Amino acid sequence: MGPRLFLVPLGCLALLLLPPPGAAEFSPSLDSDFTFTLPAGRKECFYQPMRKEASLELEYQVLDGAGLDVDFHLLSPKGETLVFDERKSDGVHTVETEDGDYMFCFDNTFSTISEKVIFFELILDNMGEDGQDEEDWKKYVTGTDLLDMKLEDILESINSVKARLSKSVQIQTLLRAFEARDRNIQESNFDRVNFWSMVNLGVMVVVSAVQVYMLKSLFEDKRKSRT
């Protein structure tokens, strides 16, 4: 089993003064994506701290590797199995969370030769950041009575733009992942076609040489029988 990696949101960074050995931290963002290589016969696990009544959405794809499949496990802070995907190439799962560390693992122990390149994206909702942003906005409400616009309208427009931009970034990330997987498949097919083309060409050359030799030997036998 490989090293355990920790995905840590902004509110928990101050608590982790010394990360555990082999741990990796993501940037403090509510939308994170990661691509890594999972060796053959190995299992990698990640931990994501969550708050109560929040939402955790996880999407993963196998970009490269024989079979394009992997086992996926998602466990609650109590150790209960919430999701189990066996030999899948991709998946999307959303769970309502409680306080604690959620663990999700990618298992390639069934493969003894091929390593896998895996992409996954985490989207965390209702983590308390939006409410804090709104409180920060309210600090600057002083003097707005003199304006002919409402702060709520501005905030609603900004939140709408922010949501659409986040969705656009998410779609672009997924499209890049699909493009990477399709490119790997095409390159693998290209190498396979070239290999078997060379094999067929070699067989044709050998067969042609054998046929020429056999025809030549038949004519030589006729000349010898006449003499």
| Closest C-alpha to 101, from 69, 165, 54 | 54
Going from N- to C-terminal start, the domains of the chain cover: 27-127, 155-222
Distances (CA, A) of 60 to 75, 102, 134, 143, 164: 16, 16, 32, 48, 22
| Sheet strand arrangement including 55-64 | 31-38, 116-125, 55-64, 90-96
Are residues 7 and 33 in contact, defined by beta-carbon separation less than 8 angstroms? no
Residue 99's identity, in one-letter code, is D
For residues 101 and 75, give the distance between their C-alpha atoms in angstroms, rounded to a whole number: 9
One pLDDT digit (tens) per residue for the chain, 227 residues: 454 455 544 333 333 333 333 334 333 347 888 889 999 999 999 999 999 889 899 999 998 888 889 999 999 999 999 999 999 998 999 999 999 999 999 999 999 898 999 999 998 888 765 555 555 555 555 555 545 556 677 777 787 787 778 777 777 877 777 787 778 878 888 888 888 899 899 899 988 888 888 888 777 755 555 55
Asked whether the whole model's pTM tops 0.95, one would answer no
User: For the domain bounded by 27-127, which CATH number is listed?
Assistant: 2.60.120.680
What is residue 78's predicted lDDT score, i.e. its pLDDT? Answer: 92
What is residue 5's predicted lDDT score, i.e. its pLDDT? Answer: 52
What is residue 133's predicted lDDT score, i.e. its pLDDT? Answer: 55
The C-alpha R_g of the chain, in whole angstroms, comes to 29
Distances (CA, A) of 204 to 197, 198, 218: 10, 10, 21
